[in-house]
Amino acid sequence: MTDQSTVLQLRLPATATELSPNAPRSIGPYRLVARLGAGGMGVVYAGIAPNGGAVAIKTVHAELAANPEFRARFAREVDLLRRVGGTCVVPVLDADVRALRPWLVTPLIQGPTLADHVRWEGPLDPSTVNGLALGVAEALSRIHEHGVAHRDLKPANVILSSDGPRVLDFGIARAVDETALTRTGSLVGTAGWISPQHYRGLPPTYTDDVFAWGCLVAFAATGRPPFGTGAPDAVAFRVLREEPDLAGFDGPLADVVRRALSKDADGRPTAAELLTTVAGLQMGCDTDVLEQPTEILTRVIGNQWPLISDAPTRLYEAVPPSGTTARGRARSGRPLALAAGAIALLVLVVSTAWWLGTERRAALDGDPTGPEGQSGTQVEEDMPESEVGNPEYIVAQARIGPGAEPLDISRIRPEGGFVIGLHPYDPEGDPDNIDPISGEPGVDLYEFDPLWARITDDAEVLCAWVFCQDTAGGLDPHGFGTTPAKPEDIMSHFEEQLSRDDADPRNIWLVAEVTYTVNVNGVGRITRIVEMFTP
């Protein structure tokens, strides 16, 4: 029986989930408590540090961990981020870039994301908008000084804590984007928060972050994305061709935002200039006689930042790691309130698909042992249908859903959740089926047999449009989805379609690039789904 004096109570986001039976119970010296989310890079867990502090531990997907180029870039980004300070930067506390599944640790921050707060409460009041603009400018200025760009600044990556805005996920998107796993010309970002230059395929620069800062501040002030919502291609057109919608947002700060949203990257201020300019607006003085902007930020947060309503939470109990100090336990006299926005730590929008067509590779070609001598084959331990060894990952374009389920009665549907029909197809086409208009072979949907597959709890899911219309979706230049989602979002979409009176299961499916393995019983294990936009 557990000694209740050693139990910590953690108040986590309501969207946090219990650890699955096959999830690790600890990573490094950190005891895991719950799963906060999953996205383009891996899984993020809530945990307890050896000193009793509450932390977020982000682990890397096995597919990324198996790529030496990603590992090198990830190590470089982590090294840079550990040097970055700043009032509004969420710091990296710890990391192990050499682990079988590399990981990093940050504090968990209390408060909703900007996206959630605006959704629940509407636009921020002017003084809070000013504090947000100043705090995010300070964060961008600090990381740019260290040679790091954010690459995915958006409302879901900003937490409105009681101590001011906090910006998440600096630089990590670049580690994913610049590896061989990503397609040349791909985008990192979310529709409506991507700069015109990035949409045109130009190399990313710090000015992309400044453009996103302008979008962010406009969103906070008006409650609307400055380039609207809707189909990703429509949003992209407005970013490239139309002026931002700033109706109802006037004054000196709005003028700075207009400069930041310039279609011409050279017409945008730097992050350092944003910081100085916005600090000057706060003090109502000329920037030439301005005190240190960080001192102004501290005073603004202390005097003007409001008490932000917490997001819905849920209470968890956990035993701290062995060796936790009495001082660490004493801090837990009241529940540790942790951020609903911590889920944004994982919401890296990696708008890429790894390979066109079907390709196979070994999942792990490096160190065969993991932490504490565990075999690398642990990557497959949550496949209950069989025990398998070092897997081969298949990346294929496929139909998924009820209309892709096997018709062969010998293929029995597995028990459990997140089970779906998976029917890979040949994108190169059937040479015997020539399209009369294009003269090219038509896609061969029936070269491969369908199978049952289970989507893993921590699968990366990127939506283009079909099951994320309420968030406007997002596309890269090749029509692949960029909006993070969860396995349950796909399942809920299919359940909704099947519940209609005129539903025909044979016609309910979507097209995606799917990363999966197949066990000895012929059941797939899906670890990545990137929806393909098919207008």
As annotated, the active-site residues are: 152
Return d(Cα 430, Cα 345) in angstroms, integer: 43
Per the CB < 8 A criterion, the answer to whether 493 and 466 are in contact is: yes
Tell me which residue of 448, 391, 386 sits closest to 421, measured CA to CA.
448
Listed in sequence order, the residues at least 6 apart from 244 whose beta carbon sits closer than 8 Å to its beta carbon are: 214, 215, 218, 226, 227, 257, 258, 261
Q: Tell me the C-alpha distance between 356 and 344, whole Å.
A: 29
- DSSP type of residue 366: S
Q: At what angle do helices 114-121 and 206-222 cross, to 10 degrees?
A: 20
Alpha carbon distance 311, 524 (integer Å): 36
Based on the number of CB atoms within 10 Å of its own CB, is 386 exposed (0-12), middle (13-18) or buried (19 or more)?
exposed
For residue 317, the cross-strand partners are 9
Residue at token pair 């529940």: 335
Listing DSSP states for 65-115 in one string gives HT-HHHHHHHHHHHHHHTT---TTB----EEETTSSS-EEEEE---S-BHH
The string of DSSP codes covering 259-312 is HHT-SSGGGSPPHHHHHHHHHHHHHTS-GGG---HHHHHHHHHHHH---PPPPP
Angle at CA of residue 75, ends 71 and 76, nearest 5°: 120
Q: If you search the block for the tokens 């930041």, which residue do you land on?
A: 260
Strands (DSSP E) contained in 285-391 are 313-318, 336-337, 350-351, 359-362
User: Residue 374: which residues within 8 A CB-CB, separation 6 or more?
Assistant: 100
Sheet with 103-107, side-by-side order of all strands: 26-27, 30-38, 42-48, 54-60, 103-107, 94-96
Integer Cα distance of 12 and 79 in angstroms = 29
Q: Note whether 176 and 71 are within 8 A (CB).
A: no
The answer to whether the beta carbons of residues 316 and 10 sit under 8 Å apart is: yes
- Paired tokens of 494: 């299919």
Q: Which residue has the tokens 């990981």?
A: 103
Three-state SS at 515: strand
The residue assigned the tokens 């202390």 is 302
* Residue 331 per-residue DSSP state: G
Q: Which two tokens stand for residue 377?
A: 């084959």
| 201 vs 236: CA distance, rounded Å | 13
Task: Say whether 154 counts as a known binding-site residue.
Answer: no
Annotated binding site for ATP: 58
